[in-house]
Amino acid sequence: MTNQIARPGKIIAIHLSYASRADQRGRRPAHPSYFFKVSSSVAASGGTVERPAGTELLAFEGEIALVIGEPARNVSLEDAWSHVASVTAANDLGLYDLRANDKGSNVRSKGGDGYTPIGPDLIDARTVDPHDIRVRTWVNGELRQDDNSAGLIFPLAQFVADLSQHFTLETGDVILTGTPAGSSVIVPGDVVEVEVDAPNASGAPTSGRLVTTVTQGDVPFDKALGSLPTVDDTQRTEAWGSAEAAGLEPATTGLSPDLRAKLEQAPTAGLSAQLRKRGHHSCFIDGVAANIPGTTIVGTARTLRFIPAREDLFKSHGGGYNAQKRLFDAVGDGEVIVIEARGDATTGTLGDILALRAKARGAAGVVSDGGVRDFEEVVRIGLPVFSQGAHPSVLGRKHVPWEVDVTIGCGGAAVQPGDIIVGDGDGVIVIPPALVEEVVDAALAQEEEDAWIAEQVEAGHPVDGLFPMNAEWRAKYEASRA
């Protein structure tokens, strides 16, 4: 064990690395992804961190920090750990109020003064097993995070080897290796402690407790200089760790349990027949089929509109935290994402990562009049998707994600947010909310009648006069019900 490090030349942080955190977020990366933190954000144990005026979502992230010893460039996975001199504790503090504006770079959201406390002591990396290093975090004495490097999606050495492919890791550089589940919001007055140790190694070496106290700032951001902090329920949910922890009401579908159960029993053929009787002839989303044979969907619509691809518009609206990503992050339990892709099946409108996110959020499914990337993986994930089928191309080939929760056209049908979407083997239909109770009750009644007629046909009766029923057969039917 050695003393605290000097300010590093580079700080490289991992976006998402622990299985527990990935499961909490509902998305698991195939490869590590990174961002830089400024060296001026480094702080020592016992210091303070300021929550800026006008913000609410400062969050802690207890992490294992790796300190590079001998410079590393194009090192192998087998040799990578030998380039790590020390291991210690870090707190990768972040301000979710600025996260959406940073679009993944985290320059402002994680670059503030004091946003990277490190220490207090360093553990000699040669004395510990990189697959058995523990990280724990306490807030006001309460244990909030407790995980082990064995729970990482990617081993610690992989970060060193991977990064060394792209640039030289120099002596003293720090890699922040991601945080496990349990990260949440802290407020002025809170005291956060992070400890990294190796309890199963000889001597049970430890970094000691890295202590940081939260204070309240009084200088607001100047709107004339740049984008201002902004929060929504999606950011609150991710900062706190869950909607419940954030004090938010669980998302509702607009469907009572009884009504949902009725809709799950009613076939789209019967529902569409009842809509036609009431003058609704344009309720069909044409040209789509289920990715999982036999699957059904029932839910209220959340809408997403794509416009035709144009280079300047994709540059301004297609990258970063765009409309598509925002909707998949915000879809509620039992809701159906309906995508207007102008009937163009020659590119994907979602893929496996967004399907995983929708599944984790409890979405009932997705309906798109375009194509789907990663088709087989989306099937494996188990998210019901009705689309025009598989296509390997990326979104930007044909589309720009433009806006959410507006009236759209999907497969020839007008769809508004809150409309009722029902899909089965016959296709997908759209039901206006004001008609849904009446339509589903009538459809189920017709199903019961049709089942009785089928029994008569199976018994050898001709369909003439029976289907549809004349007065004589109607009387027999009513008598059977009585």
CATH level 3 topology of 257-436: Glucose Oxidase; domain 1 (3.50.30)
Does the domain at residues 11-240 carry the CATH identifier 3.90.850.10? yes
Question: Which position has the higher pLDDT, 480 or 135?
Answer: 135
pLDDT tens per residue across span 277-317: 999 998 999 999 999 999 999 999 999 999 999 999 998 88
Q: Can you say which residues are annotated as belonging to the binding site?
A: 351-354, 373-374
Omega into 229 within 30° of 0, i.e. cis?
A: no
**pLDDT averaged over the chain?**
91
**Binding annotation for substrate:** 351-354, 373
Split at pLDDT 50, 70, 90, the class of 374 is: very high
- The secondary structure element, H or E, covering residue 423 is strand 420-424
Among 63, 58, 50, 62, residue whose Cα is nearest residue 96: 58
Amino acid at 151: G
pTM: 0.59
Q: Which residues are bridge partners to 403 per DSSP? A: 305
Span 26-65, pLDDT tens digits:
667 888 999 999 999 999 999 999 999 999 999 999 999 9
Instruction: Give dist(CA 147, CA 127) in Å, integer.
Output: 20
Annotated binding site for Mg(2+): 374
Helix (H) or strand (E) holding 259: helix 257-265
**Residue that is written with structure tokens 């984790």 in the block:** 360
What are φ and ψ of residue 267, in 5° steps? -75, 150
Q: How confident is the model at residue 67 (pLDDT cuts 50, 70, 90)?
A: very high
Q: Record the tokens describing residue 64, joined without a space.
A: 């294992």
Q: For residues 325 and 311, give the distance between their C-alpha atoms in angstroms, rounded to a whole number.
A: 19
| Contact partners, residue 167, CB within 8 Å, separation at least 6 | 73
Domain ranges in the chain? 11-240, 257-436, 445-481
> Does 229 score more than 80 pLDDT?
yes
Q: Are the C-beta atoms of 19 and 152 separated by less than 8 Å? A: yes
Q: Name 205's bridge partners.
A: none
